Amino acid sequence: MSYHEPTAELEPQDRDLHRALLSLKEEVEAIDWYHQRWVTATDPALKAILAHNRDEEIEHACMTLEWLRRISPTWRSVIATYLYAQGDITAVEDSAEKSGGAENGRGRSATNDEAADEPGLGGLAIGQLGASATGDAARAANET
Ligand SMILES: [Fe+2]
């Protein structure tokens, strides 16, 4: 995953977001690789090391996810909706959508106004990420 837009047009916040998403992707790939190696390894000591390494990568992925939660109202809202949800996961989505659409139904922590202010991350529109990430950073600074 590399830049898809001219880097000169990306704000520092956009670049940090890119770094975080790339890191998250790498951590998730590493989890999969270590898990496969753990499954197929035969030496018990090696298996223990591979399991340890896999679990470390899970920790790294979650740290990055937490960073995304802190800087983005949309990530925060979606995380609040889905993580630790009870029951059928797709039912959670159905419930969120029925309560006024995905943006309205997602969040306990993000308001509808925040979602509306975040067109790039909220609506997945290409080319609006810069304003969104910048707005996220400003909001995050105001919250601390
Ligand atoms: Fe890692």
Domain boundaries, the chain: 11-71, 73-136
- What DSSP character marks residue 126? T
Could you tell me the distance, in angstroms and rounded to a whole number, from the CA of residue 113 to the centre of ligand 1?
35
Convert the pLDDT of each residue in 116-139 to its tens digit: 444 344 433 333 343 444 445 444
- What DSSP character marks residue 108? S
Could you tell me the distance, in angstroms and rounded to a whole number, from the CA of residue 56 to the centre of ligand 1?
6
Could you tell me the distance, in angstroms and rounded to a whole number, from the CA of residue 27 to the centre of ligand 1?
5
Could you tell me the distance, in angstroms and rounded to a whole number, from the CA of residue 92 to the centre of ligand 1?
30
- What DSSP character marks residue 43? -
Provide, rounded to the nearest whole percent, the portion of the chain with pLDDT above 90: 62
Convert the pLDDT of each residue in 28-61 to its tens digit: 999 999 999 999 999 999 999 999 999 999 999 9
3-class state of residue 3 by DSSP: coil
Whether the CB-CB separation of 114 and 72 falls below 8 Å is answered with: no
Could you tell me the distance, in angstroms and rounded to a whole number, from the CA of residue 33 to the centre of ligand 1?
12
Convert the pLDDT of each residue in 61-84 to its tens digit: 999 999 999 999 999 999 999 999
Is the pLDDT at 107 greater than 70? The verdict is no
Closest by Cα among 74, 68, 141, 142 to 114: 74
Could you tell me the distance, in angstroms and rounded to a whole number, from the CA of residue 60 to the centre of ligand 1?
5
CA 99 to chain centre: 23
